């Protein structure tokens, strides 16, 4: 949420084109990081020798080598990216931003042991201090010099602060370069599957932003990225719900007597929570954009109304995946992501041909819908009646979409009208979602 707030401030301080360049730098550097991910952290956490200094120092050495490879890779593709997007400044921005990978590799290996022991206190403190300082640095820079270099400067400052705190605040370790071939071989056997997973995840989650900047313009990407930040809030919160509540609960209840009815009741509770988040953004984000932004950014109002549909199908798919993971069927989710990636280029290109960026956004939403429908074939075996719940809530979201658009047309976008629409829409959705959640919660109590 802090990242969301900072991005809102940055978008207000710079033009859509500058904000689009910032988004591209983030996307490319993040992509190189994810594509080169070999799962060092999760490998150490699950390894029986996870506290062995030799193993930790080998992992630390691999991390440093990986950081250097990432920096070289980022610099190598920077020119191509700058040419593809028609922004020469991307070359130097990406090349410099990629240097943060070296800093990440030099972080103390104590961060791995703290995570393994679930000692999250100091790690969270480091993360908060690092990101808070980075945010202040970026906003301050952009306030004085409204250029993409503010983001790069903030990213580098975050890496330096985390590097220093990881060695000063966490328990001291004797770091040295170690290359244990057996350990490295084991890490890469594990990491090849992490690589495939993170690569598909990156393409699935970021293909829309990469496509908008490529097919439309960097300025259009800036507007799209701003609108997508609002819509990303319910997806982010729902993902946390899936990982921290849905998956553990379904894993525990799946083998109990009468499990199907119980799981259906709990699924209804989770999906209604996701609906409330999505509908809440739908009725508040357009008015919030009208209040916060001016000029070309107002194009994000219409995009939000389309983007929420992609978000809704992402939330449904996330819930489905959690249930399938609980039943030991992760393969279905991986195949479904592949189906989305196959469908996305054609749908997005067709949408762009007929209606430019809005048409492209419709194509993105349809790709998410295709993935959801593909998964239904497997999901309905475990929760058959939940499909009907999804259909009812989808229809209700369509009603809210029409109502919000009619209200905007009738009352206009003046400051007072936007405030009224925001407050009124939030109140109505809160009442409706609250009623749905109460009914679902009552059903779960009956199943206990």
Which of 136, 169, 198 finishes a domain? 198
Per residue in 189-198, is it b (16+ CB within 10 Å) or e — as a string?
Answer: ebbeebbebb
CB of 360 within 8 A of CB of 212? yes
Count up the domains in the chain and report the number.
Answer: 2
**Does residue 278 lie in a domain region?**
yes
**Among 55, 66, 372, CA closest to 194:** 66
Does the structure show a pLDDT above 70 at 124? yes
CA distance linking residue 16 with residue 296, whole number of Å: 7
Q: Is 369 exposed, middle or buried (0-12, 13-18, 19+ CB in 10 A)?
A: buried
pLDDT at 164: 92
Q: Do 317 and 411 reside in the same domain of the chain?
A: yes
- Number of other CB atoms surrounding residue 286 within 10 Å: 28
The boundaries of the domain holding residue 313 are 216-447
**Does residue 397 lie in a domain region?**
yes
Q: Do 384 and 321 reside in the same domain of the chain?
A: yes
**Does residue 267 lie in a domain region?**
yes
Instruction: Look up residue 255 and give its DSSP letter.
Output: T
pLDDT at 247: 66
Please report, for residues 111, 112, 159, the alpha-carbon distance to residue 124 in angstroms, rounded to integers and kept in the order given: 11, 13, 15
In total, the chain counts a number of residues equal to 448
Q: Do 377 and 275 reside in the same domain of the chain?
A: yes
CB of 100 within 8 A of CB of 155? yes
**Does residue 112 lie in a domain region?**
yes
Q: What is the pLDDT of residues 206-218, one digit of tens each?
A: 888 888 888 888 9
Q: Do 112 and 149 reside in the same domain of the chain?
A: yes
pLDDT at 306: 95
Does the structure show a pLDDT above 90 at 32? no
- Number of other CB atoms surrounding residue 342 within 10 Å: 12
| pLDDT winner (highest mean) among 38-47, 175-184, 420-429 | 420-429
CA distance linking residue 357 with residue 214, whole number of Å: 11
* Cα–Cα–Cα angle for 71, 73, 78, rounded to 5 degrees: 95
pLDDT band at 1 (very low <50, low <70, confident <90, very high): low
How high is the mean pLDDT of the chain?
A: 84
pLDDT at 302: 92
**Does residue 430 lie in a domain region?**
yes
Q: What is the pLDDT of residues 77-114, one digit of tens each?
A: 899 999 998 889 999 999 998 888 888 888 888 887 87
Q: Do 286 and 410 reside in the same domain of the chain?
A: yes
**Does residue 205 lie in a domain region?**
no
Q: Do 297 and 258 reside in the same domain of the chain?
A: yes
Residues 239-251 have a mean pLDDT of: 69
Q: Do 188 and 240 reside in the same domain of the chain?
A: no
CA distance linking residue 168 with residue 160, whole number of Å: 12
CA distance linking residue 437 with residue 274, whole number of Å: 10
State percent of the chain over pLDDT 90.
Answer: 26
Q: Do 370 and 338 reside in the same domain of the chain?
A: yes
Helices (H) and strands (E) in the chain, counts: 17, 0
Give the long-range contacts of residues 323-330, CB within 8 A, separation 24 or more. Answer: 323/246, 323/250, 323/263, 323/267, 323/379, 323/382, 323/383, 324/375, 324/378, 324/379, 324/382, 325/247, 326/246, 326/247, 326/250, 326/251, 326/254, 327/250, 327/254, 327/382, 329/378
pLDDT at 35: 65
pLDDT band at 171 (very low <50, low <70, confident <90, very high): confident
Which of 148, 164, 198 finishes a domain? 198
pLDDT at 447: 58
**Does residue 190 lie in a domain region?**
yes
Q: Report H helices in 148-180.
A: 149-168
CA distance linking residue 100 with residue 102, whole number of Å: 5
Q: Do 136 and 282 reside in the same domain of the chain?
A: no
Query: What tokens were used for 35?
Result: 């594509």
φ, ψ for residue 423, nearest 5 deg: -65, -45
Q: What is the pLDDT of residues 311-358, one digit of tens each?
A: 999 999 888 887 777 666 667 777 888 888 899 889 999 998 888 889
**Does residue 208 lie in a domain region?**
no
Angle between helices 218-241 and 300-326 (to 10 degrees): 30
pTM above 0.85, yes or no: no
Q: Do 332 and 376 reside in the same domain of the chain?
A: yes
Q: Do 295 and 178 reside in the same domain of the chain?
A: no
Q: Do 190 and 235 reside in the same domain of the chain?
A: no
């Amino acid at each position: 949420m802090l990242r969301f707030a900072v991005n809102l401030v940055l978008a207000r301080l710079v033009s859509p084109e500058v904000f689009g360049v910032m988004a591209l730098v983030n996307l490319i550097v993040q992509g190189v990081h994810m594509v080169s991910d070999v799962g060092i952290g999760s490998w150490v956490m699950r390894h029986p020798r996870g506290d062995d200094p030799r193993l930790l120092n080998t992992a630390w050495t691999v991390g440093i080598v990986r950081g250097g490879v990432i920096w070289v890779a980022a610099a190598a593709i920077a020119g191509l990216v700058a040419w593809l997007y028609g922004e020469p400044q991307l070359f130097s921005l990406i090349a410099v931003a990629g240097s943060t990978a070296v800093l990440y590799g030099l972080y103390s290996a104590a961060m791995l042991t703290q995570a393994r022991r679930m000692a999250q206190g100091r790690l969270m403190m480091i993360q908060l201090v690092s990101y808070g300082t980075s945010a202040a640095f970026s906003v301050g820079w952009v306030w004085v010099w409204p250029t993409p270099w503010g983001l790069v400067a903030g990213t580098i400052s975050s890496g330096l602060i985390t590097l220093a705190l990881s060695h000063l605040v966490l328990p001291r370790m004797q770091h040295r370069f170690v290359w244990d071939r057996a350990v490295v071989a084991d890490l890469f056997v594990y990491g090849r599957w992490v690589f495939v997973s993170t690569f598909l995840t990156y393409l699935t989650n970021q293909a829309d932003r990469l496509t908008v900047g490529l097919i439309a313009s960097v300025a259009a990407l800036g507007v799209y990225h701003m609108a997508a930040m609002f819509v990303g809030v319910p997806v982010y919160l729902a993902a946390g719900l899936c990982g921290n509540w849905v998956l553990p609960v379904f894993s525990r209840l799946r083998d109990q007597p009468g499990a199907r009815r119980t799981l259906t009741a709990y699924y209804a509770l989770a999906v209604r929570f996701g609906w409330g988040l999505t509908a809440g953004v739908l009725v508040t984000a357009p008015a919030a954009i009208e209040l916060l932004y001016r000029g070309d950014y107002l194009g994000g109002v219409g995009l939000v109304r389309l983007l929420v549909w992609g978000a809704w199908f992402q939330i449904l798919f996330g819930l489905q995946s959690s249930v399938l993971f609980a039943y030991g069927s992760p393969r279905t989710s991986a195949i479904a992501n592949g189906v989305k990636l196959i469908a996305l280029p054609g749908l997005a290109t067709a949408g762009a041909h007929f209606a430019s960026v809005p048409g492209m956004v419709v194509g993105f939403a349809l790709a998410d819908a295709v993935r959801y429908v593909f998964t239904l074939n497997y999901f309905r075996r475990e929760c058959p009646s939940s499909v009907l719940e999804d259909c009812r809530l989808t229809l209700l979201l369509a009603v809210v979409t029409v109502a919000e658009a009619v209200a905007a047309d009738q009352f206009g976008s003046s400051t007072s009208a936007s405030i009224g629409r925001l407050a009124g829409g939030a109140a109505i959705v809160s009442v409706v979602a609250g009623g749905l959640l109460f009914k679902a919660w009552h059903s779960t109590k009956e199943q206990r």
